[in-house]
Amino acid sequence: MKYIFIVNPTSGKGKSLRFVPVIENYFKNSDKEYEIIYTEYPKHATEIAQRYTVEDNVILYAVGGDGTTKEVLDGLDLSVRLGIIPGGTGNDFLKSIYTDKKTDEEIVKASIEGQDMDLDFGLFNGRSRFINIASFGLDAHINVYANNVAKKKKTIIPDELIYFYCIFKVGLKPEKYRFKMKVDGQVIEDETILVAISNGKFYGGMFNAFPDANLTDGIFDICYFRPMKLSKLIGLIMKYAKGTYQNEKVCTVLKGKQIHIEFDRELWVQSDGENKPVKEATIEMNKGKLKFRAPKFS
C-alpha cells in the first residue's frame, strides 16, 4: 500500500503546508511507502487523482479544505480509497465525523491508521461530485464573498468566523427566487431565498445546519427558506447555525435521494465550496459508493 498526499499549498492561507513535516515525520521510521504531491493550479488535484486506479494499490489523501477534497473526489476512481487531512479554512465535511480539537500529529496518525468506511456522495448535473453539501441562493452568494475574504492573507478574521462575518456583509438583503423542485417524485413550487441539499452535518465553518444528517443512509437532508423580514432572518440565521430551525413556518424540511430544481433566473450555487451560476440542476445520491479512510482516534 502506498499513501499519496495531494497538498494544496494555498488552502487555509498555507495551513495545509504545516502538515507536510508532520507527514514526513510519521513515515521517517516506517517501511511504508508514501509520496507528497503539490497542486499548482485550479483543478490540478482532479488531474492528479485521475492517475490512479485500484491496480496501483494506493490511498489518496486530500490535504487542504473542502474545495481540495472536492477536486480529488471529482477525479477519483471509485475503486481507490480517499482520506482527508484538514488543512483548509472551514473543513466542514470532517466535522460530521469528529469535532474535538486534535493536534496535527494526532490527525495525521489517526487518518493514516483509520478505519475504512463506505460513504455516500452526491452527483451534481451528472458530472460534478460533492461529499458535503450543495446550496443555492443566499448562502452560495455569501460563500462567494467569503472565499474572497479568505484569500486575503492579512485578514484579522479567524477562519471559523469568516462565513459568519460575511453573512452580515452581504446576506441581510437576500434576493428571492421562484422555483420548482421535484424530490423523489414530489413536486414543490414556491418562493425561496435559500435551498440547501446536504449529505453532511456542517457547513459555513460553524453551521451545524443538519444535525441529523447521516453519511451512510443514502438520503439527502434538504431545506429551503421562504422570503421573510430582516428581523426574522437574523433570528433564523442563529437557529440555522445551531440546527434548531426545523419548526419555523418560513422553513420547509425534506429528505430525498433524487432532486431536480429549476429557478426563474440564474443564481449562485456552491457545491463543497465551488461556486458557479446555474438556473437548474439535477442532484443524485450515490449511496455507499465512496471508499473512505476515516480518522480513528485512540
> Is residue 151 pLDDT above 60, yes or no?
no
Please say if the pLDDT value at position 158 is more than 70: no
Answer yes or no: is pLDDT of 154 > 60. no
Whole-number pLDDT of residue 9? 95
Q: What percent of the chain has pLDDT over 90?
A: 76
The residue ranges of DSSP E strands in the chain, in sequence order, are 2-7, 33-38, 58-64, 81-86, 115-124, 128-130, 133-137, 177-183, 186-192, 194-198, 220-225, 251-256, 258-271, 274-294
Banded model confidence at residue 143, pLDDT cuts 50, 70, 90: confident
Q: Residue range 263-270: average pLDDT?
A: 95
Q: Which three cell numbers stand for residue 49?
A: 487523482
Q: How are beta strands 220-225 and 251-256 bridged, if at all?
A: antiparallel
Q: Got the DSSP string for 55-98?
A: GG-EEEEEEE-HHHHHHHHHH--TTSEEEEEE-SS--TGGGGT-
pLDDT band at 254 (very low <50, low <70, confident <90, very high): very high
Mean pLDDT of 252-268: 97
User: Is the domain defined by 2-121+290-294 classed in CATH 3.40.50.10330?
Assistant: yes
In whole angstroms, give the CA distance from residue 246 to residue 132. Answer: 20
Domain ranges of the chain: 2-121+290-294, 133-287
pLDDT at 260 over 60: yes
Check residue 270 and give its pLDDT: 92
What residues form DSSP beta bridges with 42? none
- Split at pLDDT 50, 70, 90, the class of 148 is low
For the domain 133-287, what is the CATH code? 2.60.200.40
- Residue indicated by cell numbers 474572497: 148
